[in-house]
Amino acid sequence: MREIVSTAWLNQNLSKPNLIILDASLKASAEGKAFEKFNKTIPNARIFDLKNVFVNKTSPFPNTIPEPEIFETACRQLGINQDSEIVVFDNNGIFSSPRVWWLFTVMGHDNIAVLNGGLPNWIKKGFRTENKHIQTFNAGNFKANFNKSLFIDFEHVLSNIKEQKFTLIDARSESRFNGIAQEPRKHLKSGNIENSINIPYQEVLKDGKYKSKSELYALFDEKVKDENELVFSCGSGMTACIVLLACQIGYKSFLKLYDGSWTEWAERNKLLNDV
């Protein structure tokens, strides 16, 4: 399946028997920016709860990937099967949906696409909407097959500072990356991991959708030309997935994510403010 699909494609394929539509909308960004709340959704959409269900609740860091067994069980409860064709969207155009795409990819299910432009573009195009998400469905048979190689941890990043086996791409804003703007988690200092490169996630988007393949290729070619493997990072593993997916769409296939991102790096390296 393609990494992204258009709203027109989804509208034409709503009746596909194996299609599962997931709504991964969030209320706000980590910076506290409130996202628009819609009182309507795409027909047959199911809520994919990134904050309360599909997350490791025992982790001290936000948005941490859940254990494969937890992910598998939660997917089955949503009625997701091994042969499900999944489309995921969110209420900000492109924000949290690429995180869901990466989660399924790392769990071994690549039959998933992000809805380009998300719910805002769906409504803008005038396609049919519903007032409620569907809540009742038969249990699925989804099986998680965790690809550990796509999950990069603190020790990987620490050793890479000397070994330089990969280049870390940071999706936070330029001001946070350069240590000028405050982090959303006010007890943490801003700044960057040594030898990392900054590609703010906003640079791969235009009007709530991904830029064209040619625009994305030019961006990555300028930023990371001649680099070897790429690994993606941000503040807490959310917006890194936006840039990771942009790379997959328009440049090269690099699917590895430093899930702990700057939050874990700053915490564990005691890069703390006096608050």
Same domain, yes or no, for 259 and 167?
A: yes
In a domain, 274, yes or no: no
Residue with tokens 């997935």: 241
Residue 79: exposed, middle, or buried by beta-carbon count in 10 A (0-12, 13-18, 19+)?
A: middle
Q: Quick one: 154 and 94 in the same domain? A: no
Looking at the structure, do residues 177 and 254 belong to the same domain, yes or no? Answer: yes
Q: Report the distance separating Cα 168 and Cα 153, nearest Å.
A: 12
In a domain, 221, yes or no: yes
In a domain, 119, yes or no: yes
Same domain, 25 and 142: yes
Distance of CA 164 to the CA centre of its chain: 25
Write down which residue in 146, 181, 214 finishes a domain: 146
Per-residue pLDDT of the chain (275 residues; tens, 9 = 90+): 789 999 999 999 999 999 999 999 998 776 667 787 888 999 999 999 999 999 999 999 989 999 999 999 999 999 999 999 999 999 999 999 999 999 999 999 999 999 999 999 999 999 999 999 999 999 999 999 999 999 999 999 999 999 999 999 999 999 999 999 999 999 999 999 999 999 999 999 999 999 999 999 999 999 997 778 999 999 999 999 999 999 999 999 999 999 999 999 999 999 999 75
Q: Are residues 189 and 108 in the same domain?
A: no
* HSE toward the beta carbon, residue 89, CA cutoff 13 A: 26
Whether 51 maps to a domain, the answer reads yes
**Longest Cα separation, the chain:** 55
Residues 155 and 141 in one domain: no
Residues 189 and 132 placed together within one structural domain of the fold? no
Query: pTM, whole model, 2 decimals?
Result: 0.96
- In a shared domain, residues 142 and 170: no
Select which of 75, 234, 241, 247 is catalytic: 234
Torsion of CA 205, 213, 111, 200, to 10 degrees: -30
- Helix H or strand E encompassing 175: helix 174-177
**Domain coverage including residue 173:** 149-268
Instruction: Flag whether 273 is in a domain.
Output: no
User: Residues 45, 49, 55, CA angle at the centre, nearest 5°?
Assistant: 145
Q: Assess whether 241 carries a catalytic annotation.
A: no
Provide the Cα torsion 11, 14, 15, 20; round to 10°. Answer: 160
What are 209-213's contacts with CB under 8 Å, separation 24+? 209/93, 209/94, 209/116, 209/117, 209/121, 210/4, 210/94, 210/116, 210/245, 210/246, 210/249, 210/250, 211/246, 211/250, 212/250, 213/249, 213/250
We report the CATH number of the domain holding residue 126 as: 3.40.250.10
